[in-house]
Structure 1
Amino acid sequence: MVRFIAGSIAFAAALAGAAALSPAYIYKFDASNAAGVDGSIRVKYAGKDSSTATITAKLDFSGVDKAAIQAFDGNCTEAVTSYKWHIHTKWNSTLTSDAFKQCSNAATDNHFDPLRACGPASEFIAEPACKAKSLTYACSATNYTANPLVCEKGDLSGKFGAFSVKETTTVSGKWTDKHFPLVSKGSPTWSIVLHAVCGTQAPRIACAVMQKQQNGYKEVQSEASTTDNDGKKQSEQRTDGYTVGEQKSKRCAKH
């Protein structure tokens, strides 16, 4: 019994050490206050000083009220076909996830962009040089693979693709980013904002603030064991150009 207890303590200590060496964070969306979006986006670093991170997303958009989106943005008259996602630099809500006005530019600011890749929604877009550079911004999975400097650090949909809801309202994916923002560069005010793409419009409809997972290693490892196959297939989108939901639909059509 003593040996078993000692072994259990050693195992727990090993997990705690692994968690410290592999920091993990979660952006959790609660359907009750995040415009009907439910689920999470998790980030697990390869190490505390590593820029390599695994991003795992599991989101359910079935509870989103399309009428509420149109009421919020009268220009969003077409069906929502996908959701873009980005890391934004501010958080002003008292909740850990929120919607609409609480995800606005005033509340969450723009995309995290420390190296000034300068997309149209860069945190530095007010600078004349960044504004001029934004006219030729061309972040895509293919371009990012060839040159990581073409994408804002926070432009996740540019790097990995938007969440497509053309065929399904639930999406999942797993990606490895070798150039993710370092843990030391992170901020408790970071948030992930979801934009509903409806025609040429993309209003911000839901957002969630970054939270550290105290037992992140155990939780993320457990989830990864059930999503390895999906994760491997989703990573293929970086070369074939399909968004998350479309890639899954394309696979199903082949079988």
Structure 2
Amino acid sequence: MIKTDTEQEQMRLAGRLAADVLDMITPHIVPGVTTEELNTRCHDYIVGVQQAVPATLGYRGFPKSICTSINHVVCHGIPSPDKRLKSGDIINIDVTVIKDGWHGDTSRMYTLGKVSQAAQRLVDLTREAMWLGIREIRPGAHLGDIGAAIQAFAEPRHLSVVREYCGHGIGRAFHEDPQVLHYGQRGQGMELRPGMIFTVEPMLNVGKRHVRLLPDGWTVITKDHSLSAQWEHTVLVTDAGYEVLTLGAAEREQS
């Protein structure tokens, strides 16, 4: 669970590559594009340019190289040639890259054309909730502090926190211990130590928190069909606090 300095360097590379995929695909997320086209571009970039492996392709039978979750889809949406994006949509693109055996995992929300005020608010507040959770990370803090910060921010703003899916440890395996809940109580859960690496990836809904798995065995939607949003970073616990391993190019310049 604790990564050595050398392993942390490997994870930095994997994380940067995952972020680079999202930077690359950003200009292509426009009304009229199909989620299958986005998947193909990402796949070709990961395999051809990065000389890496898309972790989701074939993972427990998942058929594509990215997840594309639109509007009321909470997570694990499957790219399809039949799904064409339109103005007003919000979409989460979730990418995990394997480089030299190490995983980098990140996702972002994108808005298409003119979206509703409620959709824009959800996207913005979910990103803020993720960062509030990340800022809790430091040696001696507890996993519960992350979830408590996210829950305390979201619920007074009338957003609900999805509880069935959570962040996770990551390294040579896609999903490792610990589980990182996006709700909870301060001081609860595992104590954080330098060298731990895990994802923080809250899913917030405009409506109720309850979700439903579609018959395809992957796509998760809100039960009440309300809008859902998610942002995700892979984060390293450092001696001084935290380091986000999946910042995009623009964010890397600012930090």
Task: Say which structure, 1 or 2, has more relative contact order (CA 8 Å, 6+ apart).
Answer: 1
Q: TM-score, normalised by structure 2?
A: 0.29
Question: Whose radius of gyration is greater, 1 or 2?
Answer: 1
Please state which structure has a larger fraction of its residues in helix. Answer: 1
**TM-score, normalisation: structure 1:** 0.29
